[in-house]
Amino acid sequence: MAETLLNPSSSPADTAPVAYETRDMLLNVGPQHPAMHGIIRIVVRLDGETVKGVDVEIGYLHRGFEKMCEQGGYNHAIPYTDRLNYVSPLINNVGYCMAIEKLMGLTVPERGQYIRVIMSEISRITDHLTCIGASAMELGAFTVFLYMIKAREYLWELIEMVTGARLTISYCRVGGVKADLPEGFEERTRGAIRQVREVLKECDKLLTRNRIFVDRMKGIGVLSRADALAYSVTGPFLRSTGVNYDVRKAQPYLVYDRLQFEVPLGQHGDNLDRYFCRMEEMEQSLRIVEQCLTQLPGGPIQVDDEGRPMAAAEMVDEAKMGRIQAIAGAAPVTDPTLEGTNKSFSQRVNAPAKRAVLPPKDDTYGNIEGLMQHFKLIMYGHGIRPPKGEVYQAVEGANGELGFYVVSDGTDKPYRVRVRPPCLPIMATLPIILTDDMLADIVPTFGSVNMIGGELDR
C-alpha cells in the first residue's frame, strides 16, 4: 500500500478520480466564542465551509425579568429595565414608563417628553455605534472600533451628566423623569454632537469604500422582505429590506410627530444595507436631538425669593423638636445627587399626578402633604395603583420595536409584565440568513443582528 502511495503512476487504475465519501460536519460555535458576544450557541452543519443548517440556542442570560417584575411595585421594575438592552438602557426606561402611563392615562409635561426624546435618541446613537464598531472590529477594523467607542464616550458623558450613571441609569419615572436637565446641558450636547459627527465622518471614510469591509458585507446575510415580515423582524433589520416601518413614524409617541427626520431604507436586506441604515439613522438621531434642543420648552426657573435655603437634614431635626415656626417658609437644600429634583424643576418634567409621581424633595421635607404623598408611594403595600386593565405600548428601540405588555389587577404590583424584545424575532431568522453562506460569514451577519443578551433572554 505504501508503495502505491509513493509511486502512484505504478498502477494506472488508481489515477481515475475517486468519489470520496463526504459527510456534513457539525460545528459548535459559542457560547464561549468571542464573536458570539458570550451567550449564544450556534450549532452549524457544514459542507466544506458552506453552512447547510443552523440551530440557534439562546437563554444563557435569562434572569427572570418578567417574574421579578411581578414581585415588587411598579417603580421597582425600572432598574430591571436598564438591564434589558444594556447598550441603550434609556429607551427601555421610556418604553416601560410609557406603558404604565398609558395604563393610568397620564400625560407627561412637554418638557419631560422632549427630555425623553433627547435621551432616547442619544441612546440610539450609542447603540448603533457599539453595533457597527463591534462588527467592524470582528472583521479586523480595530481602528473603527476605537473611534466609535470614543464617540460613544462623548455621549455617555452626557448621559452621566443627566442621570448620574453611565449604564444603570434608571432615569425615567412613571409620570416623568427623575430630574430636570442639568445646567449647561445644551452647550455640552451641541459640542458632543459636533464631535460625534466628526467621528462618523472618519469612520465612514474608513469603512464605506473599504474593499475588505464591503466584500465581507455585501450580499451576505440576505433576508427577503417577505421573510422579514413573516418573522416580525423590525428596526434597521427590517428597513434594510426596504419596508418602511418605524414606530416613531407609524404610531408617533412622545413628541416625534413634531420633529423632522427621515427613515433610511435599504434595498437588498444584506449586511451592507444594514450598515448603511444604521449609519444614516445616527445622523437622523443627531438631527432629532438638535431640533429638541431648539424646541425644548422651559423658560426661566422660578426661584422663590422668600424661601431661605436650609439643609434638609437640619430642617427635619428642627421639626422633630417642634420648632416648626422657625422653619416655616424655608426652602430645604437637598443633597447634590438630587440636583434637578427641586420643586421648580420637578413640576416642569413630571405629570401633576399625586397617585404616581413622587413629590419634589422640598415638599417631602417641607410639609406634611408632601411627606404623606411620598410615603403613600414608597411604603410597602402602598405605591402606584393603576386601574385594572391591560395595555401594549411599543417604542422604537435601537434594534426595532420594543413592546411592553402590562396587565394590572388594580393592586400595587404588576400582574404581568411582558417585554417584546426586538432581538428575539431577528435571532429566530438566523437559520434562514446564515444557511448557504460561508462559515466565516457568520461573524459579520451575527454582528449586524446586534444581539443584546439582556433583552433577548431577559
Partner 1 sequence: MPEPALFSARIQAQFPAGVLATHQFRGDDTVVVRPEALREVAQFLRDDPACACLVLSDATAVDYLKYPSGQEQSPSGTVPTTRFEVVYHLYSLEHNQRVRVKVPVEAAAPQVESLTPVWPAANWFEREIWDMFGIRFAGHPNLKRLLMYEEFDGHPLRKDYPVTKRQPLIGPAT
Give the shortest CB-405-to-partner 1 separation in angstroms.
6
For residue 405, what is the enclosing H or E element? Answer: strand 400-408
Q: Residue 118 has which C-alpha cell?
A: 433627547
CA distances from 224 to 103, 214, 329 (A): 37, 20, 66
| 263 binds partner 1, rule: CB under 8 A | no
Size of the residue set binding partner 1 (CB under 8 A): 43
Write the DSSP string, 203-233.
HHHHHTT-HHHHHHHTT-S---HHHHHHTT-
CA distances from 328 to 286, 307, 313, 360 (A): 46, 9, 15, 17
| 232 binds partner 1, rule: CB under 8 A | yes
Query: Of the two residues 65 and 185, which places its CB atom closer to partner 1 in the complex?
Result: 65
Binding region for partner 1 (CB under 8 A) out of 57-65, 151-159, 270-278, 322-330: 57-65
d(CA 235, CA 92): 15
Query: Of the two residues 359 and 425, which places its CB atom closer to partner 1 in the complex?
Result: 425
Binding region for partner 1 (CB under 8 A) out of 5-13, 227-235, 363-371, 439-447: 227-235
Residue 32, SS3 per DSSP: coil
Query: Of the two residues 66 and 318, which places its CB atom closer to partner 1 in the complex?
Result: 66
Contact 42, 49 (CB under 8 A): no
Residues in 243-262 that interact with partner 1 by CB under 8 A: 243, 245, 250-251
Pairing of strands 25-29, 41-47: antiparallel
Give the shortest CB-81-to-partner 1 separation in angstroms.
17
| 4 binds partner 1, rule: CB under 8 A | no
Q: In what order do the strands lie in the sheet with 41-47?
A: 25-29, 41-47, 50-57
Best CA proximity match to 152, nearest among 420, 398, 443: 398
The two most distant CA atoms of the chain are separated, in Å, by 115
Binding region for partner 1 (CB under 8 A) out of 11-19, 182-190, 193-201, 226-234: 226-234
Give the shortest CB-183-to-partner 1 separation in angstroms.
37
| 68 binds partner 1, rule: CB under 8 A | yes
Q: In what order do the strands lie in the sheet with 389-397?
A: 389-397, 400-408, 414-420
Give the shortest CB-19-to-partner 1 separation in angstroms.
34
Give the shortest CB-95-to-partner 1 separation in angstroms.
13
Best CA proximity match to 173, nearest among 75, 290, 284: 75
Give the shortest CB-3-to-partner 1 separation in angstroms.
46
From the list 8, 48, 62, 215, which residue makes contact with partner 1 (rule: CB under 8 A)? 62
For residue 248, what is the enclosing H or E element? Answer: helix 247-250
Buried b (16+ CB within 10 A) or exposed e, 132-153: bbbbbbbbebeebbebbbebbe
Query: Of the two residues 171 and 404, which places its CB atom closer to partner 1 in the complex?
Result: 404
Residues in 377-416 that interact with partner 1 by CB under 8 A: 388-392, 394, 401, 403, 405, 407-410, 415-416
d(CA 18, CA 4): 15
Query: Of the two residues 361 and 413, which places its CB atom closer to partner 1 in the complex?
Result: 413
Phi, psi of 452 (to 5 degrees): -115, 110
| 224 binds partner 1, rule: CB under 8 A | no
Contact 158, 188 (CB under 8 A): yes
Q: Residue 312 has which C-alpha cell?
A: 434638609
| 64 binds partner 1, rule: CB under 8 A | yes
From the list 43, 45, 66, 371, which residue makes contact with partner 1 (rule: CB under 8 A)? 66
Best CA proximity match to 432, nearest among 260, 243, 286, 230: 230
| 457 binds partner 1, rule: CB under 8 A | yes
Give the shortest CB-40-to-partner 1 separation in angstroms.
12
Please compute Rg for the chain using Cα positions.
27
Give the shortest CB-428-to-partner 1 separation in angstroms.
4
Residues in 85-144 that interact with partner 1 by CB under 8 A: 102-103, 105
Query: Of the two residues 246 and 362, which places its CB atom closer to partner 1 in the complex?
Result: 246
Query: Of the two residues 58 and 78, which places its CB atom closer to partner 1 in the complex?
Result: 58
Residues in 410-449 that interact with partner 1 by CB under 8 A: 410, 415-416, 418, 420, 424-425, 427-428
Binding region for partner 1 (CB under 8 A) out of 28-36, 59-67, 77-85, 136-144: 59-67
| 340 binds partner 1, rule: CB under 8 A | no
d(CA 396, CA 235): 7
Interacting residue ranges for partner 1, rule: CB under 8 A: 58-59, 62, 64, 66-68, 71, 102-103, 105, 227, 229-232, 243, 245, 250-251, 388-392, 394, 401, 403, 405, 407-410, 415-416, 418, 420, 424-425, 427-428, 457-458
